[in-house]
């Protein structure tokens, strides 16, 4: 074939129609003279609609339709974050999540270790002037590339970090638990309100698709109303020097660290606030790791609707993270409920004369990217976050009641926050957007 008649694959795709089909099919015969030309079928069917590229569903009726193609904002339009604290969670989960975010971008880092901060900044392409020490809030205030901060420091310094960020005029996303006391939580809420900035607590599970599916199932009544909930979050812990085993920095042991997921998720699933708490705390008396904080916490939440939730957290058992809702007609089991990935949603129910266990298969999403994007959207569109400071405060109040119930051995009466009104989700903002 002469050079002037040779077609590349790219040219064939651009040409479309019968020519492309014949050339790529191999051995196709030329149409007889006088045959009408075949209609042109473009290979690229994407079209711009509503600011994103949309494609028609190419799958048949027997397959689930594909998810919409990603529609990230241009980098210059995204909310710039400074990640405050460069521990394991930041390095292993949060910083990589910016690569999957659509509204958020990494703009700066703050750390007490200059060498670590400079290295991380280079790894993520940040300039030298985007690196801050913990005394750099005044300089951060003057950086227009940073609109928000993500506080990922030990629990005992959350209050000081959030107050400093608010004074710098930055919107604040803070890791859970919000603080080490309800009084500190109230100070954080007041500081952000005074500065006119938003405050969101990073309850990533409330944005994760499988957890959200459980919430929808529980509230839809598809399998009847929930009657009992079992939530467990456990792992083993070593390294006695770690800050999570120091009460001044952690506020407590397994309860505020991993038991909080059981508490917060149970509240989020029902939308209710418990009215009574019973609890027990245990630590091995011969293990010096637990001189200051507890190994295991067991607590029972009683809700106005009659639901009873049994929750357990422990630093002394093999890793397991589960959530099960029991209704009159089904057991809704979320495996790996509080893990960073690997969630499986299994529904056990009656199928005629048989028992069935069906899995609801959902596309996995990066939980940290989802929460980063949710807060970015709240900043861009002036929305109240789904998990604002009031959500973190309520959990802290309830954890204090759990410790009190364990200390006294008597049930503790609790309820919704004063002035919160009635109804569901009294401590939460509007529903988060569905991940695309």
DSSP state of 245: G
Q: Cα(175)–Cα(392) distance, rounded to whole angstroms?
A: 10
- Per the annotation, the verdict on 340 as an active-site residue is no
- CA 264, 265, 266, 270 dihedral sign is positive
What is the distance, to the nearest Å, from the Cα of residue 86 to the centroid of all Cα atoms in its chain? 19
Q: Cα(135)–Cα(144) distance, rounded to whole angstroms?
A: 18
Q: Cα(248)–Cα(291) distance, rounded to whole angstroms?
A: 12
Query: Could you give the C-alpha distances from 46 to 54, 58, 113, 126, in angstroms and in order?
Result: 5, 12, 48, 34
- CA 336, 342, 345, 348 dihedral sign is negative
Structural contact between residues 173 and 146, judged by C-beta atoms closer than 8 angstroms: no
Cβ neighbours of residue 309 closer than 8 Å, sequence gap 6 or more: 228, 229, 230, 231, 262, 266, 274, 300, 301, 303
Q: From the candidates 102, 170, 176, 198, which is the catalytic residue? A: 176
Q: Cα(123)–Cα(95) distance, rounded to whole angstroms?
A: 10
DSSP state of 46: -
Q: Cα(367)–Cα(387) distance, rounded to whole angstroms?
A: 14
Any bridge partners for residue 187, and if so which? none
Q: Which two tokens stand for residue 172?
A: 């604040």
First-to-last alpha carbon distance for the chain, in angstroms, is 47
Cβ neighbours of residue 424 closer than 8 Å, sequence gap 6 or more: 270, 271, 272
- Per the annotation, the verdict on 360 as an active-site residue is no
Q: Cα(291)–Cα(398) distance, rounded to whole angstroms?
A: 23
Q: From the candidates 150, 261, 315, 403, which is the catalytic residue? A: 261
What residues act catalytically? 176, 261
């Amino acid at each position: 074939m002469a050079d002037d008649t040779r077609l590349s694959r790219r040219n064939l795709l651009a040409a479309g129609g019968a020519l492309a089909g014949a050339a790529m099919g191999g051995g196709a015969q030329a149409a007889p003279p006088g045959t009408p030309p075949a209609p042109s079928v473009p290979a690229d069917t994407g079209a711009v609609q509503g600011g994103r590229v949309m494609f028609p569903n190419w799958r048949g009726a027997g397959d689930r339709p594909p998810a919409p193609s990603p529609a990230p904002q241009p980098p210059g339009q995204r909310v710039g974050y400074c990640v405050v604290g460069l521990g394991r969670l930041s390095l292993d989960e949060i910083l990589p999540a910016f690569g999957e975010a659509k509204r958020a971008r990494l703009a700066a880092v703050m750390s007490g270790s200059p060498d670590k901060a400079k290295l991380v900044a280079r790894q993520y392409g940040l300039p030298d002037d985007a690196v801050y020490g913990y005394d750099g809030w005044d300089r951060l205030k003057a950086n227009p590339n940073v609109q928000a901060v993500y506080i990922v420091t030990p629990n005992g310094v959350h209050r000081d970090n959030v107050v400093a960020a608010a004074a710098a005029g930055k919107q604040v996303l803070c890791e859970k638990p919000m603080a080490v006391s309800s009084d500190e939580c109230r100070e954080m809420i007041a500081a952000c309100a005074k500065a006119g900035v938003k405050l969101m607590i990073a309850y990533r599970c409330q944005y994760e698709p499988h957890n959200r599916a459980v919430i929808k199932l529980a509230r839809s009544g598809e399998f009847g109303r929930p009657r009992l909930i079992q939530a467990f979050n456990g792992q083993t812990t070593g390294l006695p020097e770690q800050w999570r085993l120091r009460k001044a920095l952690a506020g407590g042991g397994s309860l505020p660290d991993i038991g909080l997921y059981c508490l917060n998720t149970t509240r989020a699933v029902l939308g209710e606030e418990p009215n009574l708490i019973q609890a027990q705390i245990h630590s091995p008396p011969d293990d010096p790791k637990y001189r200051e904080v507890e190994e295991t916490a067991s607590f029972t939440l009683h809700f106005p609707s009659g639901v009873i939730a049994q929750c357990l957290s422990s630093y002394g058992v093999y890793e397991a993270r589960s959530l099960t809702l029991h209704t009159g007609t089904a057991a809704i089991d979320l495996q790996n409920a509080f893990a960073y990935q690997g969630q499986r949603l299994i529904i056990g129910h009656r199928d005629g004369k048989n028992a069935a266990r069906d899995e609801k298969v959902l596309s996995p999403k990066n939980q940290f990217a989802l929460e980063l994007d949710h807060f970015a959207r709240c900043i861009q569109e002036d929305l109240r976050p789904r998990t604002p400071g009031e959500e973190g405060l309520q959990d802290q109040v309830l954890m204090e009641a759990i410790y009190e119930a364990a200390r006294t051995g008597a049930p503790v009466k609790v309820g919704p926050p004063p002035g919160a009104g009635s109804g569901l989700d009294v401590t939460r903002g509007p529903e988060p957007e569905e991940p695309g």
